[in-house]
Amino acid sequence: MKRALTVNLADEDICLLAEKALYWPRHRALLIADAHFGKAAAYRRFGQPVPVGTTQTNLDVLDQLLAEYDCQQIIFLGDFLHAKESHAPRTLALLEQWRARHAELKLTLIRGNHDLRAGDPPAQLRIEVVAEPLLMAPFALQHEPVPHPTHHVLAGHVHPTYRLQGRGRQSVRAPCFSLGERISLLPAFGAFTGGMNIDAGASNHRIYLVADGAVWPLTTFV
């Protein structure tokens, strides 16, 4: 069982992490897709019963990763905040406290579709916000999984999952990394997000499941 699995993609070594993040050693960078901070707060604003503490849970995971890996920067591949309602005082206070603990860390956000609706993060979080693509050879870092003419795309947006079928009607669905020839997808980092099933055969992607605190190549199960 491996909590981190090093793979080669576009002639670059990257680490797939069980925490649904990607570590890029050459740039000492964590890549995070679809954190959706404040999603639960946005739902509660409209009176819907949803889990509490998801923002703190996500920040605790980030703290754990920063303690384990040599990081100079975090790059968010879109959808940092979920909605305008995510600018709730409690959510922003937790984010500001976390930022204060990591004042020297460089943070970059590539705007996603939810960021356009939610608005940029507050200035006190000191996050550089850019449009896609952010080119860091050999990768084009994006939110939307659309091809780039010269770079391999690392993206989020679709929250990839994979459904394993057992005997009878048994099945289980898990988040996954989906690595293709031109476009690769990161799972949603957020603790309160849905997912879209990936068809490994149709996509011709390498699938790595995130389950039981580890990263598993799909070939382990088939």
Burial category of 38 from C-beta neighbours within 10 Å (exposed 0-12, middle 13-18, buried 19 and up): buried
Q: What is the CATH number of the domain that holds 171?
A: 3.60.21
In the sheet with 12-17, reading across from the earlier edge strand, the strands are: 4-9, 12-17, 21-24, 29-32, 73-76, 106-110, 127-130
The count of domains in the chain is 1
What 3-state class would DSSP assign to 149? coil
Contact 19, 150 (CB under 8 A): no
Per-residue pLDDT of 19-75, as tens digits, reads 999 999 999 999 999 988 876 444 445 444 445 457 888 999 999 999 999 999 999
Per-residue pLDDT of 61-87, as tens digits, reads 999 999 999 999 999 999 888 566 656
Measured distance CA(10)–CA(119) in Å, rounded: 33
* More confident of the two residues 2 and 169: 2
Contact 94, 59 (CB under 8 A): yes
Contact 37, 81 (CB under 8 A): yes
Judge whether residue 90 has pLDDT over 80. Answer: yes
Q: Which domain holds residue 190?
A: 4-220
Measured distance CA(55)–CA(49) in Å, rounded: 16
* More confident of the two residues 201 and 37: 37
pTM value is 0.89
**% of the chain surpassing 70 pLDDT:** 81
